């Protein structure tokens, strides 16, 4: 896929994920629109949404990512109780599954 087309499609998916996470957390940030490919083949992030949790000294970060772990939207730093409330709602209302694996974060 051409870079510009992949970027545009990826941006749409990032915005959708950002809006979804914002609905549950209050304010989310956009992340990555393109998948990392070492062969210079440009691919947008996947359409599916999975959640992942990152624990840091400051608290918990919630990430919405595709099936490959490419972060599309992030929100930080939550207490454990708040994180648990948001995740419970994502599971119940969106039927969202957890991503277990290595995340690609915009850091």
22-56 pLDDT tens trace? 999 999 999 999 986 777 788 999 999 999 999 99
Q: 19: domain range?
A: 3-94
Residue 53 lies in a domain: yes
Q: How many CB atoms lie within 10 A of CB 46?
A: 17
Number of domains in the chain: 1
Structure tokens at 55: 């624990």
pLDDT tens string 67-97:
999 999 999 899 999 999 999 999 999 999 9
Spatial distance between the Cα atoms of 78 and 67, rounded to a whole number of angstroms:
24
Determine if the pTM surpasses 0.85. Answer: yes
Q: What is the percent of the chain where pLDDT is above 90? A: 87
In a domain, 102, yes or no: no
CA 25 to chain centre: 13
Is 32 inside any structural domain? yes
The helix-helix angle for 3-25 and 80-94 (nearest 10°) equals 110
């Amino acid at each position: 896929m051409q870079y510009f087309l992949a970027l545009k499609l990826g941006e749409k998916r990032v915005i959708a994920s950002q809006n979804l996470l914002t609905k549950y957390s209050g304010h989310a940030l956009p992340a990555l629109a393109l998948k990392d490919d070492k062969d210079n083949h440009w691919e947008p992030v996947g359409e599916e949404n999975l959640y992942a949790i990152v624990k840091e000294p400051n608290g918990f970060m919630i990430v919405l990512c595709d099936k490959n772990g490419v972060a599309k939207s992030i929100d930080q730093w939550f207490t454990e109780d708040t994180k648990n409330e948001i995740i419970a709602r994502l599971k119940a209302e969106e039927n969202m599954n957890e991503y277990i694996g290595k995340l690609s974060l915009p850091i």
